[in-house]
Amino acid sequence: MSQPPAPLPSPEALRRRVLGEVLPEVETPGQYIGGETNSAVKPSSVGCRLALVFPDAYPVGMSHLGLKLLYEMVNARPDAAAERAFAPLPDMERELRARGLPLWGLESFTPLAAFDAIGFSLQYELTYTNVLNVLDLAGLPVRSAERGAGHPLIIAGGPGAYNPEPLADFIDVFLIGEAEDSLSELVELLARAKASGAGRRETLLECARRIRGAYVPALYRVSCLPDGRVASVEPAEPDVPALVERRVVQDLETGFHPVRQLVPLVETVHDRLCVEIMRGCAHGCRFCQAGATYRPRRWRSVKRLMEIIDQGLAATGYDEVGLLSLSSSDYPHLLELVNTINARHAKSGVSVSLPSLRISDKLAELPALVSSVRKSAMTVAPEAATERLRAVINKPVSDDELFRGLAAAFRAGWNSVKLYFMIGLPTETDEDVAAIARLAARVADLGRREAPRFGRVTASVSNFVPKPGTPFQWEPMLPAAELLRRRDIVFTSLRSRRVELKFHDAAPSCLEGAIARGDRRMGRVIELAWRKGCRLDGWSEHFRADLWAEAFREAGVDPAFYAERARDPGERLPWDHISAGAGRDFLLAERAKSLEARTSVDCPSKPGSPDCAGCGACPPVE
């Protein structure tokens, strides 16, 4: 049964109490007050008021380009307004609960519950308890079935939406795929519904029927087999799609890009002008959800990018431009772009960062960019330390290519390197694991020879987590004890003092794996964990493995059933009613190749060309 909305304080009253009572009691109060350069304050009379929530702390969320894009895109509309909110840190949560105050939109101090819709960006499974915590701090029922007339619509999108089932009991509408078009359509629909006085269920039905890519969990029936596997997920209403198709921006050149980007008031993870030069990736690494779900590869012209950069620098005052994509070095006009930025802005002290370079012989071209590219540390992701295992994951970079590329980078001015590896990959052996330490030591030796002021190698070792929409979605994840054993192999194999090893904790990774491949029963676990006090689970200082274990026991759910169980290719997966891009047959073919350590050619980004693999990710022309 739905609950009536609770009385809300006025924005003016809430602002007075927050500024006068709460902020003096919390650390870094600047993250809770709004007023950043380029923030938008619009009248409450607009057709649709949307609160965009990044369910992590302000320093993380304000570094995310997607939030800035949707914020500026919605606020560019005369009929809509977007405000922001973030997951509060524990001291702020404590003060709000002690005083009975709700969370608010930063721009106007309007309580979140007074918005027409609240949208969450699901970037990472370990933020899901934060979603429930934000809803509760807003004064809203966390379960969608308990919300009714007068409550905002709760929407969500991002990578986590490719398996929406763990949050299906809490979210009203998921937007599958790239949200620019579907969010615009949803804003228009909500404005019409608000003007006409349409009811909540009527609005949800219209979302599911009229917006391609909109998934409304309440309109679907889920049945399970006696052993717990999902038997079916089917529409419970006519004209609701059985397969929810993801949305894709067809033309990135003309697609929206934020130029008046928000400039944070406090230190953030990344603080620079972020410019998306390319979307998608051609290489098809078999573990990578982003590479699979953002297909096909699309890019912007140098001319269009310079328009964005010129306007963005003028609007923000930044002195650094971050050229973003899944693999910036694959952008076909990289040298021209960086040289153009340098020619136009270097005298003003503007530099360029390339955060996602793919190691290959192409790095030999980078010395031409020395004057304008920041080179504090080269970031390289071999993922696997042996050529065989790199073939398994379809990252066919030879050791010779790796070292030639790094040598060119060291000579170009980089004096340290961060290496990213994974343990627990399919077919991995102890020899593959020990090779991580040996490869890192060889890179350190190369740096000492090629870089006059070489610092050190940092080797970061994470744990493989199988994700929906990838060729490895059927593969099991290793138990925590085995991940720890393999971590010890890396540690004991290291012989170089110039290599620093960093390991991701096994317990959070195993939880991530269970949620990532969970079904609707996982929602009960998430809610129990949150009620026990779990939040900010992606932060090591806040993660509580003991409380999560209690939640799984009380819910009667075995996390190994989801994380560690190999899935049969014929099994119905909990997310099979969601189109993630590449088709099932293609993913199974890639999985078969991986078990034979066979690689696949890069995506040509032209459907129907002779070297097109026919993955099915290219969308029909809209």
In a domain, 290, yes or no: yes
How many Cβ atoms sit within 10 Å of the Cβ of residue 44? 11
Domain end marker among 188, 212, 235: 235
Residue 184 lies in a domain: yes
**CB of 278 within 8 A of CB of 331?**
yes
pLDDT at 376: 58
Distance CA 291, CA 18 (A): 42
Is residue 226 domain-shared with residue 279, that is, in the same domain? no
Indicate if the pLDDT at residue 275 is higher than 90: yes
Task: Quickly state the pLDDT bin for 346 (edges 50, 70, 90).
Answer: confident
Instruction: Give the number of domains in the chain.
Output: 2
Q: Residue 2's pLDDT is what?
A: 67
**Same-domain status, 587 and 484:** yes
423 and 480 part of one domain: yes
How confident is the model over 380-391, as a mean pLDDT?
95
Query: Which of 129-143, 261-275, 401-415, 579-593 is least confident?
Result: 401-415
Crossing angle of the two packed helices 480-493 and 506-516, in degrees rounded to 10: 140
Confidence of residue 451 (pLDDT cuts 50, 70, 90): confident
Q: How confident is the model at residue 270 (pLDDT cuts 50, 70, 90)?
A: confident
Q: Taking each helix axis from N to C terminus, what angle separates 480-493 and 430-450, rounded to the nearest 10 degrees?
A: 40
Helix intervals (H) in 468-617: 480-493, 506-516, 521-532, 545-555, 559-563, 584-595
The Cα–Cα gap between 90 and 569 comes to 43
| Whether the bond into 569 is cis, omega within 30 of 0 | no
**For residues 334 and 493, what is the distance between their CA atoms, to the nearest angstrom?**
38
Pick from 293-302, 384-393, 502-511, 542-551: least confident: 293-302
Domain presence at residue 590: yes
Q: Which helix (H) or strand (E) holds 514?
A: helix 506-516
Specify whether 324 is located in the same domain as 224: no
Per-residue pLDDT at 576: 97
- What is the arithmetic mean of pLDDT over 608-622? 72
439 within some domain: yes
CA 553 to chain centre: 29
User: What's the mean pLDDT in 390-411?
Assistant: 90
d(CA 12, CA 6): 18
- Judge if 419 and 485 occupy the same domain: yes
Are both 200 and 65 inside the same structural domain? yes
For residue 373, is it within any domain? Answer: yes
* Tens-digit pLDDT profile for residues 491-539: 999 999 999 999 999 999 999 999 999 999 999 999 999 999 999 999 9
Which candidate, 257, 245, 334, 255, places its Cα nearest to that of 293?
Answer: 245
Categorize the per-residue pLDDT at 365 as very low, low, confident or very high, splitting at 50, 70 and 90.
low
Q: What is the chain's length? A: 622
Is residue 600 in a domain? no
Domain identity same for 292 and 227: no
Same domain, 336 and 389: yes
Task: Look up the domain containing 402 and give its range.
Answer: 273-504+582-595
**Spatial CB neighbours of 100, under 8 Å, sequence gap ≥ 6:** none
What DSSP character marks residue 20? I
289 and 220 housed in the same domain: no
Residue 88 within a domain: yes
Question: Is the residue at 558 inside a domain?
Answer: no
- Both 62 and 179 in one domain: the answer is yes
The more confidently predicted of residues 295 and 156 is 156
Give the domain CATH number at 418: 3.20.20.70
Give per-residue pLDDT as tens, 563-608.
999 999 999 999 999 998 889 999 999 999 999 999 998 887 666 6
Residues 137 and 279 in one domain: no
Where are the strands (E) in 384-466, listed by range? 417-423, 457-463
- In terms of domains, do 317 and 455 share one? yes
CATH, residue 106: 3.40.50.2300
* Residue where one domain finishes, among candidates 186, 217, 235: 235
Surface-to-core class of residue 4, CB atoms within 10 Å of its CB (0-12 exposed, 13-18 middle, 19+ buried): exposed
How high does pLDDT run on average in the chain?
93
